[in-house]
Amino acid sequence: MMKKVYGVMGDPIEHSLSPVMHNAAFEELGLNAIYLAFRVTRDDVGDAIRGAKCLGFAGLNVTIPLKEKALEFVVPDALANRIGAINTIDFGSGTPRGYNTDGIGALTVLKEAVGELRGKKVLILGAGGAARAIAFYLDSEGSILTIANRNVERAEQLAHALRNADSIGMDELAQRIKDVDILINATPVGMYPREDETLVDAGLMHPDLVVFDIVYNPMETKLLKEAKKAGVRTTIGGLKMLVYQGAASFRIWTGMEPPLEKMETAVRAALSVQP
């Protein structure tokens, strides 16, 4: 039987540990499959998806900055279409079908750490594909959202698509953070190899704040270090979100229950040996 091929495409892509995670899952379950990383520019997204289909790929993940662009080249499910971004493509039916598992990954992590999210004031940094997915899920939970983005127009567009949200520019962060319960970084700021960057430092944070950074490489980002320095209530790294969104993709592709513990262990091991 031919080996099934899966992969992740993005730009940059060198930081991705999705191959480590999914290959560990395939090995654990004895599946004849392999998962690879592919650097694809925004201009080449359509060609990459068509090429993967023609080559017989079984599925793809999509990461920054391609999640919104990739939507144009698949048949999205209703939720992904509403979000306006995908992170998962399934080729099982012959037609590339798009899904978004980022939101459920983030929501699962937040519920484990915080509990009830209804009425919580949440400030999301970013308005790209991951930010959109997280915002739609939190909106459905009854959270009160603020979207902050350098491009204020993009923040406004996202806020208008939600039930209970407003938008601000990054220059308004200092004032707004005082009143929020949860701060989420949904941008690549602080991601390897630019680990010394953060959009928010300790001086802007308060003790009752929950700080969640969806960046998982490094496991402790500059933002999380600043949060600990400020003595915030809880800090959450991006590793668990990576595992949960990856698990949701795995279910879509295979119809099987993924080995979550094995996937998380593989990612932690890979991160621990990085320079």
The set of catalytic residues is 67
Cα gap 109→243, rounded to integer Å = 10
Number of Cβ within a 10 Å radius of residue 186: 27
Specify the residue for token string 């970013």: 126
Is cis: bond before 218, omega within 30 of 0?
yes
Rg (CA), the chain: 18
The single-letter code of the amino acid at 55 is L
